[in-house]
């Protein structure tokens, strides 16, 4: 196929159906933002369901949420906020071709994500131990057990789905780490780090709303 | 000029090159045959329904089986055919060509989307083989959350299919924004692109809510959360809100691509530029946006508040306006045009008549006071079949007959196409027109048995279904026969002015030898006498 | 780079604020909800504008993001118009129109 385009050396990462890298990067950003919006609507459904049920079972939800550990929730919030910082620093490093800093920031983000999951593990163990389980498995008694059970259903669904996204994010970030160590990214091409970062910030954003709704208000 | 070598169907070679293809044209073809197979399956179930309804008693199928049959008919037709078919088969094939692009924005995502479709289909088939479900395709709670059967499995299959749809939508939006050829500004885009864009917005924004709804349903069944179960403190109407927030916009995922095809076919076969290009373009966006505001019109008698019913009814009237604008513009395009009634145009004209009926009957249902009497009757069944079959499916057939030469390099028998078209038109109307009457006289939907008085109209309807089926088999027949010929289709058999006609039929794998630079609008027959 | 540090500091401060405020009992619990969601939205905006670079990015991306929020809002609001305005069973539907006092 003959093309009368410029003969500048293309990045090895320029895909054949794009004329320029900028076009490819822009398209990738649009695609990622569209995907993030689908995540917002997916979690949004859970938030709306929670809001409606909270309105209908106000007292039960308030009682139930007292069982959540505010310190641990706040700790996890801080962990994720810092991980968002390390992530944006990773993108910054890639954009300035600072390979070592990029690798370190990605590793830090992954480590913080792991820490988040460890904290969640302790929280979940505590709930299991106390019988504070979703739906039909709720065994903790107390006033308004049906409403409290429903609160914990939402607690586990929302934090569980969020946790799965953290895990998915860790996998993506690990892959980015591997590629970074192979020297794929520099100021000429760092789109995957950028896009991975966008995903990670969204996961952080969802927790920014989950924390007050579940832990502080109920 | 066409050849059997060097086109996308033959290059690269080998079944592995198809399995791992990143070529949007091949993915479009894969989707085309897969969705067609699903349509045949859904159609067989439809024939079964009509057979049972020949007689007032539930004698062919026991009621429980009948419930499974209409549930599967709906689920298969909606999730495996009508939602994916036009966007994923024709959108994938034609859109990049129309834009002058080499592929969609994310070819690997495209392939992933197809495999998600296959996976979802297999999961659904597993659910069917495991006994099926009888909840209706709408899965209303608390029945669906408490009944036996393979509900969770089927619902998970639909969840997977939803992601296939989302990925297609993401791909098309990015493609239209970033992969237009130089000189192809937004108002030089073919209207098929505008319709596809509007559809993609809905796919991206609405489908995730279906996703979470289905997950919640599975959680209800497994964990007895209670969100949708009144016995556990939940609200079954809430399920309906969640479900219809997607499923109403979904019907516009179904019709917008169909309308997009009509906008392509009518100018070509009227040899006249489209009337009101911008109005049609904007009306597609308007339909997409307003479609999110009206879902409660499916819930007028479900127990939602009077205020909500009134609000939704009022908003529902708004969505009819942009659709009406399109119909007037299509008619105005044909007015004083040089009409050529080839097969694609026959279906396009059919669409105008049938979609008009379907759309107008929607107004009866959107009006709160009349809906109270018509809801859950055959009036509703007739309405949605007029818009989905008379509208979308007929437009799909117009697209098939329009792009078949481009996709497969062969012309089909025009005579057979006309015969089949007549059978389809007669059969369709015979099947569904009487259902409006039955419905307004009280025949309930989803019933295997009925009062004797309705039998004559049911018999008429069933006979109509046989004629419709005959017509459809004929279409499949002559299209398949055409594939056995040597390729004989010219690059531009219809004299179209959009870019897909500037490449051979079938196109080479890389679409264009040189990036096309559009120098005229997509329907500029007035300015391009060579095309006339 | 300095911007990022400042944003992080702001996010941490707002987190401390929201925890502190949640302990205060205002007149009605609705106030706590509004304050908490308001602070959360402030934090989310900081993340979106600075960490996700929306402030300096092409406006299309911001439009996509905001559209998602708009559709979510439509979802919530129209459901609330149902759930919050249901009449108790004993009240006949015609009472709704009478209750509007249009005449």
Q: Is the Cβ pair B312, C78 closer than 8 Å?
A: yes
Chain centroid to CA B271 = 27
How far is Cα A6 from Cα A20, in angstroms, rounded to an integer?
10
**Contacts of B358 by beta carbon, 8 Å cutoff, 6+ apart:** B383, B384, B385, B386, B387, B388, B390, B391
Angle between helices B277-290 and B236-270 (to 10 degrees): 170
CATH number for A49: 1.20.120.80
| Cα dihedral sign, B177-B181-B183-B189 | negative
Q: Structurally, how many domains does chain A consist of?
A: 1
**Least confident range of A9-13, B59-63, B376-380:** A9-13
41-100 of C, contacting B, C-beta below 8 A: 60, 67-68, 71, 74-75, 78-79, 81-87, 93, 96-97
Q: Is the Cβ pair C61, A48 closer than 8 Å?
A: no
Average per-residue pLDDT for chain B: 95
Mean of the pLDDT values across residues B100-125?
Answer: 98
The tokens for B21 are: 């293809």
CATH number for B108: 1.20.210.10
- Count CB atoms within 10 A of the CB of residue B48: 18
- Count CB atoms within 10 A of the CB of residue B39: 21
pLDDT given for residue B529 in this prediction: 52
Which one, of B199, B337, B323, lies nearest residue B266 by Cα?
Answer: B337
Q: Structurally, how many domains does chain C consist of?
A: 1
Residues in chain B closer than 8 A to C82 (CB atoms):
237, 241, 296, 304-305, 307-308
B165 contacts B203 by C-beta, under 8 angstroms: yes
Which one, of A81, A105, A75, A79, lies nearest residue A92 by Cα?
Answer: A105
pLDDT given for residue B449 in this prediction: 95
Best residue of A64, A135, A168 to probe chain B, by most B CBs closer than 10 Å: A135
- Count CB atoms within 10 A of the CB of residue B394: 28
Which one, of C48, A35, C20, C86, lies nearest residue B113 by Cα?
Answer: A35
Cis before residue B296, ω within 30 degrees of 0?
Answer: no
pLDDT in tens, C11-24: 999 999 999 999 88
pLDDT surpasses 80 at B88: yes
Which one, of B361, B393, B424, lies nearest residue B83 by Cα?
Answer: B393
Predicted TM-score (pTM) of this structure? 0.95
pLDDT surpasses 60 at A91: yes
Q: Structurally, how many domains does chain B consist of?
A: 1
Q: Tell me, what DSSP letter sits at residue A135? A: G
pLDDT: which is higher, B420 or B3: B420
Mean of the pLDDT values across residues B270-290?
Answer: 97
- Examine residue A115 and state whether it is found in any structural domain, yes or no: yes
Q: Residue C99 — pLDDT band, cuts 50, 70, 90?
A: low
Percentage of chain A exceeding pLDDT 70: 95
A125 to chain C, closest Cα gap in Å: 24
pLDDT: which is higher, B326 or A8: B326
DSSP 3-state of B321: helix
Angle between helices A191-210 and A70-95 (to 10 degrees): 160
Percentage of chain B exceeding pLDDT 90: 95
pLDDT given for residue B521 in this prediction: 87
**Contacts of B163 by beta carbon, 8 Å cutoff, 6+ apart:** B113, B116, B207, B211
CA distance to B119, B176, B203, B261, per residue, from B251 (Å)? 23, 22, 11, 16
pLDDT given for residue A1 in this prediction: 40
How far is Cα B18 from Cα A214, in angstroms, rounded to an integer?
49
Q: Residue A3 — pLDDT band, cuts 50, 70, 90?
A: very low
pLDDT given for residue C97 in this prediction: 60
Provide the terminal-to-terminal Cα distance of chain B, rounded to the nearest Å.
19
Residues in chain C closer than 8 A to A82 (CB atoms):
8
How many residues appear in chain B?
532
- Count CB atoms within 10 A of the CB of residue A172: 16
How many residues appear in chain A?
218
**Contacts of B460 by beta carbon, 8 Å cutoff, 6+ apart:** B430, B434
pLDDT surpasses 50 at A129: yes
pLDDT in tens, B504-532: 999 999 999 888 888 888 998 765 554 44
How far is Cα B174 from Cα A27, in angstroms, rounded to an integer?
6
- Examine residue B254 and state whether it is found in any structural domain, yes or no: yes
Mean of the pLDDT values across residues C83-90?
Answer: 84
Tell me the three-class secondary structure of B312-337, residue by residue.
Answer: HHHHHHHHHHHHHHHHHHHHHHHCCC
pLDDT given for residue A7 in this prediction: 45
Q: Is the Cβ pair C71, B292 closer than 8 Å?
A: yes
pLDDT surpasses 90 at C37: yes
A91 contacts A193 by C-beta, under 8 angstroms: yes
- Examine residue B153 and state whether it is found in any structural domain, yes or no: yes
pLDDT in tens, A172-213: 999 999 999 999 999 999 999 999 999 999 999 999 999 999
- Examine residue A1 and state whether it is found in any structural domain, yes or no: no
pLDDT given for residue B532 in this prediction: 44
- Examine residue A74 and state whether it is found in any structural domain, yes or no: yes
Average per-residue pLDDT for chain A: 93
pLDDT in tens, B335-369: 999 999 999 999 999 999 999 999 999 999 999 99
Q: Residue C25 — pLDDT band, cuts 50, 70, 90?
A: confident
pLDDT given for residue B5 in this prediction: 63
Beta-ladder partners of B444? B377
B203 contacts B168 by C-beta, under 8 angstroms: yes
Residues in chain B closer than 8 A to C96 (CB atoms):
306-307
B292 contacts B206 by C-beta, under 8 angstroms: yes
Residues in chain A closer than 8 A to C7 (CB atoms):
85
Domain encompassing residue A139: 24-217
pLDDT surpasses 70 at B2: no
Domain encompassing residue B363: 22-502
**Contacts of C59 by beta carbon, 8 Å cutoff, 6+ apart:** none
């Amino acid at each position: 196929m003959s093309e009368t385009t410029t003969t500048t050396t293309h990045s090895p990462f320029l895909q054949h159906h794009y004329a320029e890298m900028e076009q490819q990067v822009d398209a990738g950003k649009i695609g990622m933002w569209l995907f993030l919006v689908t995540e917002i609507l997916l979690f949004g459904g859970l938030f709306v369901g929670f809001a409606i049920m909270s309105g209908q079972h106000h007292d039960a939800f308030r009682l139930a949420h007292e069982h959540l550990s505010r310190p641990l929730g706040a700790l996890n919030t801080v962990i994720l906020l810092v991980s968002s910082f390390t992530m944006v620093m990773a993108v910054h490093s890639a954009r300035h071709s600072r390979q070592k800093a990029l690798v370190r920031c990605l590793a830090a983000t992954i480590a913080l994500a792991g820490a988040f999951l460890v904290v969640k593990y302790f929280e979940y163990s505590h709930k299991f131990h106390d019988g504070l389980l979703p739906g039909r498995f709720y065994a903790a008694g107390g006033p308004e057990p049906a409403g409290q059970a429903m609160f914990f259903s939402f607690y586990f669904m929302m934090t569980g789905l969020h946790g799965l996204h953290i895990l998915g994010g860790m996998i993506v970030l690990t892959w980015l780490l591997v590629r970074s160590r192979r020297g794929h990214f520099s100021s000429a091409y760092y789109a995957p780090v950028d896009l991975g970062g966008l995903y990670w910030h969204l996961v952080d954003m969802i927790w920014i709303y989950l924390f007050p709704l579940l832990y502080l208000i109920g | 000029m066409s050849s059997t070598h060097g086109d996308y169907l033959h290059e690269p070679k080998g079944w592995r090159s198809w399995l791992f293809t990143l070529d949007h044209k091949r993915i479009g073809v894969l989707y085309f045959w897969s969705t067609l197979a699903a349509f045949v399956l859904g159609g067989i179930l439809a024939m079964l329904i009509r057979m049972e309804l020949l007689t007032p008693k539930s004698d062919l199928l026991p009621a429980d089986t009948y419930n499974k049959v209409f549930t599967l008919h709906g689920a298969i037709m909606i999730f495996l055919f009508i939602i994916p078919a036009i966007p994923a088969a024709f959108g994938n094939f034609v859109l990049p060509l129309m834009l002058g692009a080499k592929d969609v924005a994310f070819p690997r995502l495209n392939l992933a989307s197809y495999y998600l479709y296959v996976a979802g289909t297999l999961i659904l088939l597993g659910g069917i083989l495991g006994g099926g479900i009888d909840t209706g395709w709408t899965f209303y709670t608390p029945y669906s959350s408490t009944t036996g059967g393979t509900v969770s499995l089927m619902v998970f299959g639909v969840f997977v299919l939803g992601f296939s749809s989302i990925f297609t939508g993401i791909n098309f939006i990015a493609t239209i924004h970033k992969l237009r050829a130089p000189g192809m500004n937004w108002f030089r885009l073919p209207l098929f692109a505008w319709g596809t864009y509007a559809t993609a917005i809905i796919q991206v924004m609405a489908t995730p809510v279906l996703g979470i709804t289905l997950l919640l349903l599975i959680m209800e069944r497994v964990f007895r959360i209670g969100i949708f179960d009144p016995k556990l403190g939940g609200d079954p109407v809430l399920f309906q809100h969640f479900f219809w927030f997607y499923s109403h916009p979904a019907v516009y995922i179904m019709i917008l691509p169909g309308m997009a095809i009509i906008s392509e076919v009518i100018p070509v076969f009227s040899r006249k530029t489209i009337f009101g290009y911008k109005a049609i373009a904007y009306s597609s966006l308007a339909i997409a946006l307003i479609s999110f505001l009206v879902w409660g019109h499916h819930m007028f008698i479900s127990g939602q508040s009077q205020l909500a019913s009134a609000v939704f009814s009022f908003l529902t009237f708004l969505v009819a306006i942009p659709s009406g604008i399109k119909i007037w513009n299509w008619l105005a395009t044909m007015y004083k045009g040089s009409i050529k009634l080839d097969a694609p145009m026959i279906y396009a004209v059919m669409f105008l008549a049938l979609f008009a009926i379907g759309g107008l009957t929607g107004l009866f249902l959107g009006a709160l006071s009349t809906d109270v009497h018509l809801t859950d009757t055959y009036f509703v069944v007739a309405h949605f079949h007029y818009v989905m079959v008379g509208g979308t499916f007929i437009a799909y057939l117009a697209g098939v007959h329009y792009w078949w030469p481009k996709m497969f390099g062969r012309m089909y028998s025009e005579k057979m196409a006309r015969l089949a078209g007549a059978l389809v038109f007669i059969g369709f109307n015979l099947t569904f027109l009487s259902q409006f009457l039955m419905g307004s006289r009280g025949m309930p939907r989803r019933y295997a048995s009925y009062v004797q008085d309705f039998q004559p109209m049911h018999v008429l309807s069933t006979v109509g279904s046989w004629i419709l089926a005959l017509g459809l088999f004929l279409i499949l027949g002559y299209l398949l026969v055409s594939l056995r010929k040597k390729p004989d289709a010219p690059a531009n058999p219809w004299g179209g002015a959009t870019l897909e006609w500037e490449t051979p039929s079938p196109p080479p794998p890389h679409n264009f030898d040189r990036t096309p630079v559009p120098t005229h609008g997509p329907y500029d027959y007035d300015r391009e006498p060579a095309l006339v | 780079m300095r911007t990022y540090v400042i944003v992080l500091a702001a996010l941490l401060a707002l987190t401390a604020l929201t925890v502190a405020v949640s302990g205060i009992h205002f007149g009605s619990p609705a106030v706590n909800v509004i304050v908490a969601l308001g602070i959360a939205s402030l934090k989310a905006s900081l993340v979106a504008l600075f960490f996700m670079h929306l402030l300096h990015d092409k406006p299309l991306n911001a439009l996509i993001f905001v559209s998602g929020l708009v559709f979510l809002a439509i979802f919530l609001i129209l459901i609330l118009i149902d759930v919050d305005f249901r009449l108790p069973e004993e009240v006949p539907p015609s009472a709704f129109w009478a209750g509007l006092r249009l005449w």
